[in-house]
Structure 1
Amino acid sequence: MEVLEEKKRDSDEDPEISEDETESEGASFDSEEEDMFIDGMDPVLDRCPSEPSDGEISDEDWEPEATAEKSKQSLSPPSPTTKVPETPPSTESPRPVEQEIGSKSPHTPQSAAASSEERWHDENEADIEPPQPTFRPSRTPGPQLSATSSSTLLELFQLFFSTSVMTTIVKNTNAYGAKSMEGNARPWHDISMQEMYFYLALVIYMGITKFSDLTDYWSPFYSLPFPRSVMSRRKFLAISHALHLSDPDVDAENEGKRGTADFDRLCKIKPLYLQLVEACKAQFHPAQNIAVDERVVASKAWIGLQQHMEENLTCGYKLFVLADSRCGYTWNFFVYDGKSPVENGKGLSYESVMALIDEKVLGTGYKLFMDEFYTSPMLFKDLLQKKVWACGTVQPNRAGVPRALTNDFPRKAPRGSLRWLRDNELLFVKWKDAREVMMCTTFHKAYKGDTVQKRVKGDDGQPKYKDVPIPAVVTDYNTNLEGVDLSDTVIGYDHVLLKTKKWYKTLFYHFVGIAVGNTYVLHRELARANGTRPFTQKAFRETLVLELAHMGSESNATPGPASPPPPGVSHRPKFTADDSTIGRRKCRLCHQKTALICVSCDAPLCLLPNRNCFNEWHDQNGL
């Protein structure tokens, strides 16, 4: 899973606004369940009880129950004196493999170890391909816009950051800024909607043009004209420090519930978070192949929401994502706050997939791809009840997975070796690549005769390429699980994550990245439908930045030529305060600090022997 790396740029600490992380709390995740979660295991489905003395394990020991009481019993090791009931010998002759496909199976999978007839088959033994799903989406797949519409990039972006969303952000930012600056010598000045569009333009621009420090964008050394023409450095940092998504009064009320069941850990992102999820689902409908996976938004700040991904040594906030496998559109997601979205006792992996799959909105006949953290026979069978087919890698010790030993791989199986076993609608496939891979699927045939070139060691000890068998389930999995990775790539291209100590700001910048990434997918799909050539990623972001900047042009920080002053008004310099060391502002021309302004233009300008910016600026503007 690709992880969005955090930008190595640090916004200047504004002494007037404290960045102390008041919501940081002692995380209580140092439990056995958290350790299993870090290792990519589900605390419910992957917890193994002690084996009975006779070596056989029944499904009652492995399968989690729906109720909390039964679940607790299933996680406890069986007593050494527990007697496993014997299965009466069957008087019927073994059925051929082909006949097992059409048989009906109970919801609880049959124990693999309890069946003496269960064995692994190789590629030379025939399997019957199960009926393929009939794809019936609730809407036409693709953008839910007219293909002939000529929407600008800004209009597409506003489908995710709507006017109501922007109004809420501006209102709450002003409320938080005024509250935090109360009693300060420099009071908070309310920002407008246009200035918030300016701010978003610069945030996306900073993903295209990268510097290690935010102040470098306004530095005279680099002389970048765009940031200075859009917004002053002081204004940008002020908005960055006061940025707030939720109502401060609601935050205070929620903070009073800390430690109770009513405390909402995601309160500070809810106004944008919920509306963005609904917008993502409303503006696009995925094609038949979809993928679910987790995504980590990198952050070094430690609060209870943070997760640690051991495989890549990255800390951050975890999101569970459902994406279109073909184009990488982020269709649904939720932020993991330390507990399952739906508590039904079946484990985080099961509940996460069920929370992301909404068959009433999606339709039926979808093919869902996932990795071994989510895959379980119980999940796949319940997805079939929703008419959603599934495929993914699976952990051999997961509940319900066959543990037959007959005709299994030898100790040193050659590359390309294949074994398969069908349990009614579930097909389990083992394939030997560089290491052994185990798959589970509900819509594949075991082997179709496909081959792939792999590098193997020849008889003379030299490496050579050889065609080896490959199951169709492996090919499809490698092709379609990249949906979330492709989504990460679209978002991560010049991503807009800025360094911050506030967890909700980190997620805000990621939400901006999701909106920009989905906007690009909509633009690309609409362009292809119209037979036109879409923008490249870089050209797309440059155009979107310019359109966002144009939205706020009425409040541009560096205006054009000033209008003539009214009769009787002259351009005279004056000090901003009685003390020249107080209230110094940035010169409009050289960007150095100055204590003088023009009384008519209200423009801060230097007036020194070596920096006569006052007269030069007025001459340039014909004043």
Structure 2
Amino acid sequence: MIPRALQQDLMDTPEDDVQDEVLPPSSNPSIASTAETMMPHDFFDFQWESFPNPPISPNVRREVFSVEKVGPTIPVTDPYLTFREIWDEQIMGHIVQQTNIYAQQVAAAMMENNSLCPSSRISYWKDTNEDEILVYFAIILAMGVVVKSKLVDYWSTDGSIFATPAFSTHMPLKRFQLLNACLHFSNNNDMCVESLSPSEAKMFKIAPIIEHCNKRFQALFVLNQNLALDESLLQWKGWLNINQFIPNKAAAVGIKTYELCDSETGYLWRFEVHAHKKATAAQPASILDASTPAIVLRLLQGLENHGYTVWMDNFYNSPALARSLKSNGFDVVGTLRTNRQFVPDELTQLTKAAMRPGQIAGFTSGDVDVLVWRDQNRVATVSTYHGNATTIVEGKTKPIVVADYNIMMGGGGGGVDKKDGMLAMYPVERKRTRVWYKKFFRRLLNVSVLNSYIIYKKSPQQVTHRHDHRSFRTQLITSILDRHSKKQSVSLADQPAVRFEAHSHYLMEHSPMQGKWTKKLRRKCCICNTLTRFYCAGCNKTVCMHPCFSSLHTY
């Protein structure tokens, strides 16, 4: 049987088309981009030769790293102020505004459909503010530290060993659920499908948060020399047309993002959500815009000619991409699929059975080196500076390029894998939700805390006293609650019902039902506590027809 994930209209990824790479201009004269026209005709004319003997030292061929000061760009004093550098007043005001607008839209739609009743959760809505949203953030982050199986368990006050009464002290459960339902980031009325590309239409709900996070992540940290570029998968098992199925990932099915991280710290510097389809014959696109190299070039934009080294796996790497990046001042290292274009035929046809254990075979074109090494399996790599130099690791001779790659990328040692491993300890996005972009928002909130921790940890001001990851999170949560929580436990029944000024006060009756369920339609009158089926449509209070309704609205 075909899994449900594969039955979806999954997006075509560059992985599905191995030949979709940067091609020489002469191979497709009908498609010409600016970058292609600027390249000489022999730019992709690889002249493969044997490696020189003795090997040239990698340090001689590597690009010179010209960035003088790396790390945080701001002075850091405590976790709260670091976190607020990302979630500043501008984005918090935007979230508050859009959440209030969306709540009013939901309530108005329910009134028009005559589906709003006193028991409706939205009938108790009151406009939120920045303090309350920050408290809501703190509670979400606290759920990643204190992990429970059910949402209601966090508001348990039964006095048992599993009780956590502090949650109800800062926000009632029903208010938290109401904020969960109404949390919004873009006004639905502003969406014009005709003016948006397919990618923009899919990302419309979460686009302001993605744009803001990318902007702040880049502004607050200067990357070290070694960069890791890889994809990350946020598990989402629901029906979603941008879902990706990647069997070798732990999540397997979910929302894929392409991420550029600092290899040493795991700091997420820039990311891009995979939400586009490959161009069809009816909609031709430039090869650079539709291929895997285009993703890499977009993530690396602004870092040219500084001597950065980009570490990637075989999903992205190719000789053509390596040469293109080398011409822009980057070094490229990573694993390689030997069926990529421009790989020498001798290496493409070289099988595992034809090599003895420990054998190394490869070629160089001067600026790009392609290497195949036989270990337990056949390992192919591409590099712009390593050559075929070897080293001894645990009594085994292996190429230096493989040893360096294992340090920078392998086994979760750095980059994206290191970031995902640190986030997995605090599963903020684990809680079930029916709305995909709200789960993705929780992932971004979680990443922002990790980035704040890295900024705080690498700041020169924190040399004398440093927090570990867990203590940083707990202090951040405590600081947010101390500054923004009113610490009042108010039940939902005590909150004033919302009044919509556009509607006058008039009585409404629930639709009559036959049988034993008729009694359940009646609620207690807010004046005399008598059971009644009537309620005021203006203020959504249950009230008797006479005389309570008159006394309620007589001023």
- With the shorter chain as reference, the TM-score category is 0.7 to 0.9
1:308, CA displacement in angstroms? 1.2
Give the aligned CA root-mean-square deviation in angstroms.
3.4
The 3 A distance-change label for structure 1 pair 489 and 495 is same
Summarize the alignment of residues 334-413 of structure 1 with structure 2, pairs less than 5 Å apart.
334-339=272-277, 344-346=286-288, 347-359=290-302, 361=303, 364-404=306-346, 411=353, 413=355
Contact 1:63–1:400 under 8 Å retained in 2: no
Partner of 1:20 in structure 2? none
1:415, CA displacement in angstroms? 3.1
1:323, CA displacement in angstroms? 0.4
Partner of 1:471 in structure 2? 399
Partner of 1:565 in structure 2? none
Query: SS at the partner of 1:499?
Result: coil
The 3 A distance-change label for structure 1 pair 64 and 321 is farther
**1:232 equivalenced with 2:165 (yes/no):** no
The 3 A distance-change label for structure 1 pair 344 and 246 is same
Contact 1:64–1:345 under 8 Å retained in 2: no
Query: SS at the partner of 1:316?
Result: strand
Name which of 274, 281, 285 aligns with 2:218: 281
1:24-47, Cα deviation, whole Å (9 max, x unpaired): xx96447xx55x736xx646149x
1:275, CA displacement in angstroms? 1.0
Partner of 2:74 in structure 1? 145
Structure 2: distance between partners of 1:298 and 1:504: 12
Structure 2: distance between partners of 1:180 and 1:533: 48
Contact 1:491–1:516 under 8 Å retained in 2: no
The 3 A distance-change label for structure 1 pair 63 and 338 is farther
Structure 1: distance between partners of 2:532 and 2:419: 49
Partner of 2:408 in structure 1? 480
Contact 1:292–1:484 under 8 Å retained in 2: yes
Contact 1:391–1:441 under 8 Å retained in 2: yes
Structure 1: distance between partners of 2:348 and 2:334: 24
Query: SS at the partner of 1:207?
Result: helix
Structure 2: distance between partners of 1:407 and 1:214: 56
**1:318 equivalenced with 2:256 (yes/no):** yes
Contact 2:304–2:330 under 8 Å retained in 1: no
1:71-96, Cα deviation, whole Å (9 max, x unpaired): xxxxxxxxxxxxxxxxxxxxxxxxxx
1:155-184, Cα deviation, whole Å (9 max, x unpaired): 101111111111111110111112112322
Contact 1:63–1:399 under 8 Å retained in 2: no
Structure 2: distance between partners of 1:229 and 1:531: 35
**1:522 equivalenced with 2:419 (yes/no):** no
Q: Which runs of 5+ in 1 are unaligned?
A: 1-25, 47-58, 71-103, 113-117, 454-466, 560-573, 584-594, 596-623
Greater fraction helix: 2
Name which of 192, 196, 206 aligns with 1:254: 192
What amino acid is the match of 1:37?
A: E
* Identity percentage of aligned residues: 23
The 3 A distance-change label for structure 1 pair 428 and 291 is same
Structure 2: distance between partners of 1:472 and 1:257: 51
Partner of 1:425 in structure 2? 367
The 3 A distance-change label for structure 1 pair 377 and 581 is farther
1:190-224, Cα deviation, whole Å (9 max, x unpaired): 11211101100100000011111101111234321
1:555, CA displacement in angstroms? 6.6
In the superposition, the TM-score normalised over structure 2's length comes to 0.76
Structure 2: distance between partners of 1:446 and 1:541: 45
Partner of 2:202 in structure 1? 265
Structure 2: distance between partners of 1:557 and 1:487: 36
Name which of 504, 516, 520 aligns with 2:437: 504
Contact 1:66–1:345 under 8 Å retained in 2: no
Contact 1:195–1:555 under 8 Å retained in 2: no
Name which of 527, 532, 548 aligns with 2:480: 548
Query: SS at the partner of 2:428?
Result: coil
1:536, CA displacement in angstroms? 1.6
Partner of 1:452 in structure 2? 393
Summarize the alignment of residues 194-213 of structure 1 with structure 2, pairs less than 5 Å apart.
194-213=131-150
Structure 2: distance between partners of 1:125 and 1:443: 15
In the superposition, the TM-score normalised over structure 1's length comes to 0.68
Range moving further from structure 2, 227-236 or 422-431: 422-431
1:335, CA displacement in angstroms? 1.0
**1:44 equivalenced with 2:11 (yes/no):** no
**1:243 equivalenced with 2:191 (yes/no):** no
1:408-438, Cα deviation, whole Å (9 max, x unpaired): 6772644322222112211111111210100
1:543, CA displacement in angstroms? 0.8
Contact 2:309–2:333 under 8 Å retained in 1: yes
Contact 2:10–2:244 under 8 Å retained in 1: no
The 3 A distance-change label for structure 1 pair 550 and 63 is farther
1:573-599, Cα deviation, whole Å (9 max, x unpaired): x9855447799xxxxxxxxxxx9xxxx
Contact 2:73–2:219 under 8 Å retained in 1: yes
Range moving further from structure 2, 478-487 or 288-297: 478-487
Contact 1:323–1:330 under 8 Å retained in 2: yes
Contact 2:21–2:291 under 8 Å retained in 1: no
